[in-house]
Amino acid sequence: MRFLANENFPLSSVFLLRSSGHDVSAIIQDSPGATDEEILSRAVDEQRIILTFVRDYGELIYHLRKPSPPGLVYFRFEPTTPTEPAEYLLQLLGQQDISLEKFTVAERSVIRQRPLP
C-alpha cells in the first residue's frame, strides 16, 4: 500500500512498513514542517493513505470540506515503542474485514471507521 507518514509518525515504524513491502513517504524525511493542509493535499495528489497521531485531519476533511485522501489512519494512543504503530498497522492489514480506504480511528482495543466524503 501507499502511505504518507505524518511528521509525528516514528521513523522506526516507517522503516518497518517499508521492509514489509509498503511504499511509505515520510514527512520527517522529505518535508519537515509541512502544514496539515499541505500534507493532506500531498496525500490526495499522490494517492497515499495518511498515518498520523494528529486529530486535526477530521476537521479539515469533514468540517472544512478539504479534498479527501484515499484513506487516513489516526492513531489515538501513545506508542510504547517506536515500532508499535507499524506493528499495529500490519495487524490491521491482515484482517479481512478492515479496509484502510476510510477514516480510521485506531485505539489499542477499538477500531472505528467511517467513509470519507
pLDDT at 83: 97
Is 29 a residue whose pLDDT tops 90?
A: yes
Grid cell of 75 as nine digits = 492513531
Q: Which of 26, 75, 82 is nearest to 52 (CA)?
A: 75
Question: Averaged over 10-33, what is the pLDDT?
Answer: 97
Calculated CA dihedral for residues 38, 60, 100, 69, nearest 10 degrees: -50
pLDDT at 96: 83
User: Which residues, at least 6 apart from 10, have a Cβ–Cβ distance to it below 8 Å?
Assistant: 79, 82, 83, 85, 86
Q: Each residue of 45-57: pLDDT tens digit?
A: 999 999 999 989 9
Give the pTM: 0.95
pLDDT at 97: 87
> Which band of pLDDT confidence, cut at 50, 70 and 90, is reported for residue 22?
very high
Q: How far apart are the first and last CA of the chain?
A: 21
Question: Averaged over 72-91, what is the pLDDT?
Answer: 96
